[in-house]
Amino acid sequence: MTETKKKFKFRVPNTYLLIFSLLVLIAGMTWIIPGGEYERAVVNGREVVVQNSFKYVNSNPQGFFDLFIAPLKGFVEAGLIIGFILIVGGAFNVLAKTDAINSLINKLARAHRSSSFLQKMFIPVLMFMFSLGGATFGMNEEIIPFVLIIVPICLALGYDSIIGVAIPLIGAHVGFASAYLNPFNVGIAQGIADVPLFSGIGYRIICWLISTFVAIAFLLYYVKRVTSKPEISPVFDSDNERRKNEHFEAVYNNENLFTVRHKLVLLTFALSLIMIVVGVISLGWYIEEISAAFFIMGIAAGIIGGLKSDELIKGFIDGAKDLVGTALIVALARATLVISRDGHIIDTVLYGLAPFIQSSSPIFASQKMFVVQAVINFFVHSGSGQAALTMPIMAPLADLTGVSRQTAILAFQFGEYTNIIIPTSAVTMGALSMAKVPWEKWARWVIPLQIILMLLGLLLLIPPNLFGWQ
């Protein structure tokens, strides 16, 4: 009689448990790390940290009750993003009810099968466009609506949902981290560091092109592997179940799906996107205005698509209802920032990391700045927020270590490479939830790219120190 031994296999907890465990960990850190804060001052309308103003303050350890209050505060502070997600979910479900999206996918799937050019260029072109959006106007939260479209398209084309969410998520985040015209990180950081606005654009464009090429190459390599052997996909089983439950074959094999009404609905959608891009670039639109635009688009699409008023309203409610789980994830992710801030440990962590940057070599100093920024990004993953927190300290430190302020700003930017994986990012977790890709599966898949990008950041910081980039 043989005895079968069960092999222990480590399983990463689901996303909700993972983030809550992270909350518990940070709450525990507030009992160990002493409280501290820098003085703040308003300079040119922005709140910045005053150099050499750090002082220890009374600790504010976060207890059991605080742990459960933090998600509620996260809901409040992330209210705009959560509201945006729910409205987008409602609007896109109305759009889906018209069958216009299905008709688009049908046409694209047929064209994809018959065109080798489209097969080769579909992923690179889309990813390049999202990266361009991140590099220029700071595309971030704006990727969320596209997840709802690109994931089903990718599933219909025979790809997996990881590819579907990677195109907008990695594309925009890599573009954001290596940006050259992004007002939310480059613009604010240069303003705080007293560097001419959007100067050094030449080398930043080179960094952006290299980063984008690396990200596209990584995804194409995975596409080649998963196309020849689909079972290697981390979401193989769930995607197959999804294809079956959502009746992909029935929808995408319908040859008579694309009607005039569908074309008008898609035209409305396209015009809405153009309006949003113009609004963001030229009119300073943010989440409120973008949400309103999607709200209007959903109503207009429903009317043009021939939905009755009851169908339209029910479609909107059902769409918002489907994304309640995503809203919870966003609130929990935001709660990690809340509990570390209320515990007064963020400034202490920054203060403790500052001496680490000191180095006899400007190259090593800038690389260590990059590592520190990546650590801080775990707690403060807003480009503008991190610039306001760290640049008043990093800029003078750069002067002391022989690093140009321009290079220090680049190190700050590269710290945001980690946005593609950190579970404290509300946008990343929200996008993954919308794509129905568990964070633990995403993390295992994206870790190699994360390592590559970190090494790339270290390498790209060498040339500016060699040629005295100012």
Per the model's pLDDT, the better-predicted residue between 118 and 316 turns out to be 316
Question: What pLDDT score does 2 carry?
Answer: 44
Q: Do the beta carbons of residue 441 and residue 234 sit within 8 Å?
A: yes
Per the model's pLDDT, the better-predicted residue between 193 and 442 turns out to be 442
Confidence of residue 27 (pLDDT cuts 50, 70, 90): very high
Q: Tally Cβ neighbours within 10 Å of residue 310.
A: 8
pLDDT at 14 over 70: no
Does the CA dihedral 74-79-81-86 come out positive or negative?
A: positive
CA angle 220, 167, 334 (to 5 degrees): 135
Question: What pLDDT score does 44 carry?
Answer: 65
Per the model's pLDDT, the better-predicted residue between 265 and 209 turns out to be 209
Query: Which of 220-229's residues contact partners 24+ apart within 8 Å by CB, and which partners?
Result: 220/123, 220/124, 222/162, 222/163, 222/445, 223/123, 223/159, 223/163, 226/159, 226/160, 226/163, 227/158, 227/159
pLDDT at 3 over 60: no
Per the model's pLDDT, the better-predicted residue between 165 and 340 turns out to be 165
Each residue's pLDDT tens digit, 224-248:
999 999 999 999 999 988 887 765 5
Candidate from 61-65, 95-99, 360-364, 418-422 with smallest mean pLDDT: 95-99
Q: Which stretch, 106-115, 128-137, 210-219, 398-407, has highest mean pLDDT?
A: 210-219
**How far apart, in whole angstroms, are the C-alpha atoms of residue 326 and residue 436?**
10
Question: What pLDDT score does 1 carry?
Answer: 42
pLDDT at 271 over 60: yes
Confidence of residue 370 (pLDDT cuts 50, 70, 90): very high
* First vs last C-alpha separation in the chain: 75
Confidence of residue 438 (pLDDT cuts 50, 70, 90): very high
Contacts of 37 (CB under 8 A, 6+ apart): 54, 55, 57, 344, 347
pLDDT at 185 over 80: yes
pTM for the complete prediction? 0.77
Average pLDDT, the chain: 85
Question: What pLDDT score does 330 carry?
Answer: 78
Does the CA dihedral 183-185-187-192 come out positive or negative?
A: positive
pLDDT at 154 over 80: yes
Question: What pLDDT score does 99 carry?
Answer: 79
Q: Which stretch, 21-25, 78-82, 216-220, 266-270, has highest mean pLDDT?
A: 216-220
Does the CA dihedral 54-64-328-450 come out positive or negative?
A: positive
Each residue's pLDDT tens digit, 309-350:
898 999 899 888 887 887 888 788 788 888 988 999 888 887
Question: What pLDDT score does 10 carry?
Answer: 44
Per cent of the chain over pLDDT 90 is 34
Confidence of residue 11 (pLDDT cuts 50, 70, 90): low
pLDDT at 9 over 90: no
Q: Which of 96, 150, 144 is nearest to 319 (CA)?
A: 96
When pLDDT is averaged across residues 416-441 and rounded to a whole number, the result is 91
pLDDT at 257 over 70: no
